[in-house]
Structure 1
Amino acid sequence: MRLLFFVTLLGFSCFCNEVFGVHISNLSGSCFRCLCHVAGCDMTRGCSDGYCGPFFISRVYWVDAGKITLPDDDPERQEAFEDCARDYHCSIRIIESYMAKFGKDCNHDGVTDCFDYMMINYHGGRGCSKPLFLTQSGRRWLKSYLECRF
C-alpha cells in the first residue's frame, strides 16, 4: 500500500511517501513526473537494450528494488520484469522500492530531494555523487531535469 501525504511539524513541511512502511521524503508526484520526463516518459515504450518502460528501468535496477511485480504476478516469471517496468504505476513502485534502499543526499546539500533521486536513477544507487556534466548523456539528463523542475 502506498500513501502520499503532506506533513507539517514544528513549522517544517514536506511531501512524504510511505512504501510498505518505509518513509521516503520528498518523493512526490511532481518528482515522479520529472523522473519520467528525464527518462523520456514514453508510455508506449517497450524494452530495448535491456531497459523498459516510461522510466527506462533496467533488470538490474528491478532486481535491486526487490523484483516488484504487477499484482498477483510471480517475480520469477521470465516476463515479470518487462511487464511491470512497462506499466507506469508498477514502475513507480519499482522506483519507490529502489529509493527506499538507495536514497541519499547525492549532491551533499543537506537534503535528499528529487535532484538526488534523479542522480540515483542516472548513476545507480552506489555512484550517485558523480557529476552529470562529464558526459553528453548526463548533460541531457540534467538539462531535461532542470526544464521539468523549474
Structure 2
Amino acid sequence: MYLLLGLVLGIMLWSAHLGESCWAPDSTQSCFEAAAITNQCLACICQVESGCDTSRGCTANKCGPYQITSAYWAAGGSIGADWETCTGVPDKTCAEDTIKCYLGQHVGALIVHHGRLLTCEDWVRVHHAGGLDGMNSASADAYWRSVQAAGCS
C-alpha cells in the first residue's frame, strides 16, 4: 500500500514542479506540506547546527541557526528576498520553509525507496547529505548520531 502511495506521490511531486526547485507558496500542494517534518525534528536540526542560536547571522558560507548554505537555499526554492535575509535572521520561518521545500523535493523517491512513511531520521539524513544517494553515507550516519546525542530520535 505505501509503495503504491509513494509511487503516486512521487509522480505527482515530479510532475508538479518540472523545471522548478520548489512549488510557489500559493500553490494548492506546497512544498511546505509535502515535507511533513515535525517542528520537533526541525528543532533537533537547529540544536545540532548552532545550539539554535538565532543571533548567529552569516559566517563564511553558512547562515543562521540552521547553518544553511547559499546552494542549499537555492535548491530549497530561493525563498525570500535573498539567501542571507532568509536564513540569517532571528526569525527562523523563512529558513524552516527553505528546509521544508528542500526536503519536499525528495518525498516521493524516499517513500518509494523505503516503502513506508518517513521519520525524523530520514529527514535529518536528507537535510545533511542530500537525497537517496547521500542519506546512507558515513557523513549522514555521523550527523544522525549527533542528532540522537542531542536527545532526538
Give the percent of matched residue pairs that are identical in Structure 1 and Structure 2.
Answer: 24
User: Does the CA-based 8 Å contact 1:25-1:113 persist in structure 2?
Assistant: no
Q: Which one scores higher on RCO, CA 8 angstroms, separation ≥ 6? A: 2
1:72-111 aligned within 5 A: 73=81, 80-87=82-89, 88-103=92-107, 104=110, 108=114, 110-111=116-117
| Correspondence for 2:43 | 33
Structure 1 residue 130 displacement after superposition: 2.2
Structure 1 residue 110 displacement after superposition: 2.7
RMSD: 2.6
Distance in 2 of aligned mates of 1:49 and 1:84: 16
Residue from 113, 116, 121 that aligns with 2:122: 116
Tell me which stretches of 4 or more aligned residues in structure 1 moved more than 4 Å: none
Give per-residue Cα distances to partners, 1:6-32, cap 9 Å, x unaligned: xxxxxxxxxxxxx64233354121111
Gaps of 5+ in 2: 1-24
TM-score under structure 2 length normalisation:
0.65
User: Does the CA-based 8 Å contact 2:79-2:94 persist in structure 1?
Assistant: yes
| Correspondence for 2:133 | 127
1 or 2, which has the higher strand percentage?
Answer: 1
- 1:65 equivalent in alignment to 2:67: no
TM-score under structure 1 length normalisation:
0.66
Gaps of 5+ in 1: 1-18, 74-79
| Correspondence for 1:15 | none
Structure 1 residue 129 displacement after superposition: 2.9
1 or 2, which has the higher helix percentage?
Answer: 2
